[in-house]
Amino acid sequence: MSNERNSRSAGAEKIVPTACSSHCGGSCVLKVHVKDGVITRIETDDGEEPQLRACLRGRTYRQRVYAPDRLKYPMKRSGARGEGKFQRISWDEALDTIASEIKRVVETYGPAAILYWVSGGDQGVLHDTWRRMSRLFCLMGGYTRPWGLHSYEGGIFGELATYGTAWTASTRDDLLNSRLIILWGWDPVNTIADTNTSWYLVQAREAGIKIISIDPRYTDSTATFAHQWIPIRPGTDAALLIAMANVIVTENLQDQAFLDTYTTGFEAFKDYILGAEDGIPKTPRWAEAITGVPARTIQKLAKEYATTKPAALLAGIAPGRTAYGEQYHRAAIALAAITGNVGIPGGSPAGKVWGPLGVGRMGSGPKIPRNLVDAETPPPKDKLPSRGGYIYGHGIINVFKLTDAILKGKSGGYPADYKLLYLNNSNILNQWPNTNRIIQALNKLEFIVVEEQFMTPTARFADIVLPMTTFLERNDVTMGASLPLFYGYRNKIIEPLYETKAPLEVANELAARLGLTDYNDKSEEEWVRQIVQESDVPDYDNFKKQAIIKIRLPQPHVPFSKEINDPANNPFPTPSGKIEIYSQQLADMGNPKLPIVPKYIETWESLNDPLASKYPLQLITTHFKRRAHTQFDNIPWLRELEPQAIKINTIDAQARGVKDGDMVRVFNDRGKMIIRAKVTERIMPGVVDLPQGAWYSPDDKGVDRGGCANVLSRDEPSPGGALPSNTALVQVEKA
Ligand SMILES: Nc1nc2c(c(=O)[nH]1)N[C@H]1C(S)=C(S)[C@@H](COP(=O)(O)OP(=O)(O)OC[C@H]3O[C@@H](n4cnc5c(=O)[nH]c(N)nc54)[C@H](O)[C@@H]3O)O[C@H]1N2
Ligand SMILES: Nc1nc2c(c(=O)[nH]1)N[C@H]1C(S)=C(S)[C@@H](COP(=O)(O)OP(=O)(O)OC[C@H]3O[C@@H](n4cnc5c(=O)[nH]c(N)nc54)[C@H](O)[C@@H]3O)O[C@H]1N2
Ligand SMILES: [Mo]
């Protein structure tokens, strides 16, 4: 019996399993109770270990599905952009209008004038990726597709430059083989990155493995797992790593045999760290002045890392979301190589701590024809090749340059003038840097379509808003980014509410109106079947019934073990076949901001910037436990947990006469907000933290009352393409 029919059979309550995957970096089991076609409650995995237990967000999903503010009907804008005035229209009117606007823009300006962006709002293979609409636009001649990942473009850059691949993550069970674990800018208790990371860290702690946390905040992870907390000024991590390398080399603690066998360019790096290159030895004292970490602490940390083997330097991705964040990632990788911690159990290649493993296989859905817009535009100069299948690697404009590109177009040197923006699974007004500038950019566009579940800050700027299903109202599959790794069947548990539609259905109807007769010949069910057939899952019907198939790995996944154990037959995928501490590819780029060996480059808006006299506090914008970015911010049960507030150290608060719970004004030249202050010792002086993802909600003077971090952030990507969302100076005053 199909689950659809299950859910409709009167009276009896059914429990249908499915996989939550809501842009949080994890993926978990939900067991959804349904009675008479209505979800009555949600439970999670209570089966054999390792379980995939959902967090508070997954367990409140019922409130999200039935939220009174769900978008119910297609709507067209009837007021100014951002004003929030909309009027209900029929699906026919909505789709006819969108199709005719797409046609008009392609005919008048050419396909490059169409921008399409999709983020990770949800993670179903069929409905929620960029494929279905990319196919549609490519059949129309192409579209402008930005490249770059919000999360860890700095990490990808560092990994590609040094290892030649961005697939460097280990499975978390390997942590139990370590003797020392360094949580570098990482708080997995709150920011999920694989469902069970905390579970393995608990076991590591219980096994007596030493854990050190390096973070401007005394995080929940620090409190729960760490033996030592080393606070550090944001954006200075490369300096700390480079000083550690200085200590290791000065004391001759490097793994010279490893360096000789597997790496190139150590000598050039040595010249930099010892000062032969520029006359400045990168000593602990040098780094103390930059990072705020005492020289003695640096000395001890360096020796401990070099002499406790194997050691896992877990390079979190947040320090990489700073200006020149790619240097932090390159320096971390260099340090892992210098100490011979690459490719061995319990070590860590110190690439980004989170990312695909290359384990398991899943089909991919609709095929995408060649994008002629990409083909006609020269590739960007600063992008490294062989991105290892990263989907956000294609395209011609860095996503964080898009605001500028919309505002300036050809006159600013961009390949086209941009006119139409189509968005799904993303909330860019809130999540891209520099909200006020994005507002200007959105106001310049001729037509904006947003597919959404809620009237988000971005949707308020759309000309047409399309009401979409949640994943519980359609069939799809996903691959869980977790340990255990798993294949997840996302069962359609209830019928679509109100007039919502599933993404593929919208694309089908648009394609028909655009005359694209060969757009799609498969139903949802046929697509899901095909995707599963292309995967390693043997039995479709059983998969649909069980929903979760855990992949058991015989042993922890250790990246680069082949390259280390049998180097003759397994060169690294770099031009030299070695770990490239020195990169000829970067030398060829000739960009001094992308140096050939990892270097510390002072960020813009650092404490030495003259701007610091006006705006003396460094702002970081962390991921929040009660949201996945902007998602779930409107869910009452979750709102009860913790209010949106800016965290400020007691010393900084006292200097401003601010008490815990007071309202404060936070501002810089880019924007202003009024928000509650959380006064705490758990953040270092000089740094404030405003959790990202709160919904932008300006008052009538344009002052944000929602606490949207990007009102304050700067829209300039790091040279390697990263979103520098942890680099900004602000001032805080009592409101
Ligand atoms: N609950 C929840 N979980 C999530 C998400 C979410 O929105 N909510 N989002 C998911 C996604 S898509 C992503 S990309 C990841 C993001 O995951 P992360 O980037 O790891 O998360 P953050 O909370 O931004 O930052 C982690 C830690 O880095 C510290 N930090 C910030 N700047 C610096 C710095 O310059 N140096 C050092 N040493 N530390 C610094 C912060 O204080 C914080 O404790 O999280 C995923 N998981
Ligand atoms: N200042 C600052 N800014 C940041 C960050 C930071 O750390 N600091 N982090 C960055 C990072 S790492 C990331 S990944 C991005 C995240 O940026 P986004 O991915 O844009 O943020 P989300 O809130 O996940 O937005 C997803 C939207 O998709 C909608 N959605 C969910 N499911 C569906 C669906 O099935 N169909 C449709 N059509 N819509 C759906 C949700 O309602 C939501 O509005 O933010 C980035 N921005
Ligand atoms: Mo992300």
pLDDT value at position 192? 85
- Determine which of 293-297, 441-445, 632-636, 664-668 has the lowest per-residue pLDDT on average: 632-636
Atom 24 of ligand 1, nearest CA residue: 622
Measure the CA–CA gap between 337 and 216, rounded to whole angstroms.
26
Confidence band, pLDDT 50/70/90 cuts, at residue 627 = very high
Ligand 1 mutation target, pool 432, 622, 687, 725, most atoms within 8 A of CB:
622
pTM above 0.75, yes or no: yes
Question: Ligand 1 centre and the CA of 172: distance in Å?
Answer: 18
**Cis ω before 17 (30° cut-off from 0):** no
Please say whether the beta carbons of 419 and 107 come within 8 A. no
Measure the CA–CA gap between 224 and 226, rounded to whole angstroms.
6
Supply 651's token pair: 């010393």
| Residue 534 reports pLDDT greater than 70 | yes
DSSP string, 674-692: EEEEEEESSB-TTEEE--T
List the one residue out of 416, 403, 514 whose CA is nearest residue 461. 403
SS3 of residue 548 by DSSP: strand
Question: Ligand 1 centre and the CA of 63: distance in Å?
Answer: 26
- Tell me: the pLDDT tens digits for 141-161? 999 988 888 999 999 999 999
Supply 582's token pair: 């020195």
Give yes or no for residue 25 CB within 6 A of ligand 1.
yes
In terms of pLDDT, which residue wins out, 360 or 363? Answer: 363
Measure the CA–CA gap between 175 and 172, rounded to whole angstroms.
6
Supply 229's token pair: 């907390």
Question: Ligand 2 centre and the CA of 242: distance in Å?
Answer: 34
- Tell me: the pLDDT tens digits for 182-241? 999 999 999 988 889 999 999 999 999 999 999 999 999 999 999 999 999 999 999 999
Measure the CA–CA gap between 397 and 721, rounded to whole angstroms.
10
- Tell me: the pLDDT tens digits for 677-717? 999 999 999 999 999 999 999 999 999 999 999 999 999 99
Ligand nearest to the CA of 24: 1
- Tell me: the pLDDT tens digits for 560-570? 999 999 999 99
Atom of ligand 1 nearest to the CA of 26: 47
Residue in this structure with the two tokens 């910037």, named with its chain if needed: 609
- Tell me: the pLDDT tens digits for 54-103? 999 999 999 999 999 999 999 999 999 999 999 999 999 999 999 999 99
Measure the CA–CA gap between 621 and 710, rounded to whole angstroms.
9
Confidence band, pLDDT 50/70/90 cuts, at residue 362 = confident
Torsion of CA 619, 621, 622, 624, to 10 degrees: 130
Question: Ligand 2 centre and the CA of 291: distance in Å?
Answer: 31
Q: Give the percent of the chain with pLDDT over 70.
A: 96
Ligand 2 mutation target, pool 453, 464, 475, most atoms within 8 A of CB:
453
Question: Ligand 3 centre and the CA of 456: distance in Å?
Answer: 18
Mean pLDDT, rounded, for 630-640: 94
pLDDT value at position 391? 54
Mean pLDDT, rounded, for 501-513: 98
Mean pLDDT, rounded, for 341-346: 98
Ligand nearest to the CA of 641: 1
Measure the CA–CA gap between 609 and 603, rounded to whole angstroms.
9
Confidence band, pLDDT 50/70/90 cuts, at residue 481 = low
- Determine which of 296-300, 495-499, 533-537 has the lowest per-residue pLDDT on average: 533-537
Question: Ligand 3 centre and the CA of 431: distance in Å?
Answer: 10
Confidence band, pLDDT 50/70/90 cuts, at residue 1 = very low
Q: How many CB atoms lie within 10 A of CB 29?
A: 26
pLDDT value at position 422? 98
Give yes or no for residue 186 CB within 6 A of ligand 1.
yes
| Residue 264 reports pLDDT greater than 80 | yes
- Tell me: the pLDDT tens digits for 5-31? 444 445 799 999 999 988 888 889 999
Please say whether the beta carbons of 670 and 711 come within 8 A. yes
List the one residue out of 385, 519, 482, 530 whose CA is nearest residue 50. 482
Please say whether the beta carbons of 18 and 472 come within 8 A. yes
Measure the CA–CA gap between 385 and 588, rounded to whole angstroms.
13
Please say whether the beta carbons of 649 and 681 come within 8 A. yes
Question: Ligand 3 centre and the CA of 108: distance in Å?
Answer: 35
SS3 of residue 376 by DSSP: helix
Give yes or no for residue 403 CB within 6 A of ligand 1.
no
pLDDT value at position 361? 85
Supply 721's token pair: 């393409």
Mean pLDDT, rounded, for 526-548: 93
pLDDT value at position 376? 81
Atom of ligand 2 nearest to the CA of 424: 38
pLDDT value at position 6? 46
Please say whether the beta carbons of 598 and 334 come within 8 A. yes
| Residue 354 reports pLDDT greater than 90 | no
Atom 29 of ligand 1, nearest CA residue: 185
Please say whether the beta carbons of 329 and 158 come within 8 A. yes
Question: Ligand 3 centre and the CA of 388: distance in Å?
Answer: 18
Average pLDDT in the chain? 94
pLDDT value at position 4? 45
pLDDT value at position 7? 45
- H or E segment at 86? strand 86-88
Ligand 1 mutation target, pool 191, 229, 392, 646, most atoms within 8 A of CB:
191
Atom of ligand 1 nearest to the CA of 190: 1
Q: Give the percent of the chain with pLDDT over 90.
A: 86
Burial pattern 98-127, b for ≥16 Cβ within 10 A else e, equals bbebbeebbeebbbbbbbbbbbbbbbbbbb
pLDDT value at position 2? 42
Measure the CA–CA gap between 338 and 645, rounded to whole angstroms.
41
pLDDT value at position 385? 67
Extended beta strands in 438-569, E state:
447-452, 464-467, 476-480, 485-490, 548-551
Question: Ligand 3 centre and the CA of 152: distance in Å?
Answer: 7
Supply 576's token pair: 């030299």
Residue in this structure with the two tokens 């896992």, named with its chain if needed: 312
| Residue 3 reports pLDDT greater than 90 | no
Measure the CA–CA gap between 570 and 578, rounded to whole angstroms.
10
Supply 607's token pair: 């404490």
Name, in order, each residue with C-beta under 8 angstroms of 214's C-beta and a sequence gap of 6 or more.
Answer: 182, 183, 184, 185, 230, 232, 237, 240
Give yes or no for residue 232 CB within 6 A of ligand 1.
yes
Measure the CA–CA gap between 190 and 221, rounded to whole angstroms.
8
Question: Ligand 3 centre and the CA of 120: distance in Å?
Answer: 8
SS3 of residue 601 by DSSP: coil
Name, in order, each residue with C-beta under 8 angstroms of 522's C-beta and a sequence gap of 6 or more.
Answer: 530
Torsion of CA 648, 650, 656, 662, to 10 degrees: 70
Give yes or no for residue 198 CB within 6 A of ligand 1.
no
Please say whether the beta carbons of 328 and 154 come within 8 A. yes
Atom 36 of ligand 2, nearest CA residue: 425
pLDDT value at position 58? 94
Kindly list the distances between the CA atom of residue 543 and the CA atoms of 28, 267, 319, 474, 533, in Å, as whole numbers in the listed order.
Answer: 16, 53, 39, 16, 11
- Tell me: the pLDDT tens digits for 24-54? 888 899 999 999 999 999 999 998 888 999 9
In terms of pLDDT, which residue wins out, 2 or 554? Answer: 554
Atom of ligand 2 nearest to the CA of 454: 42
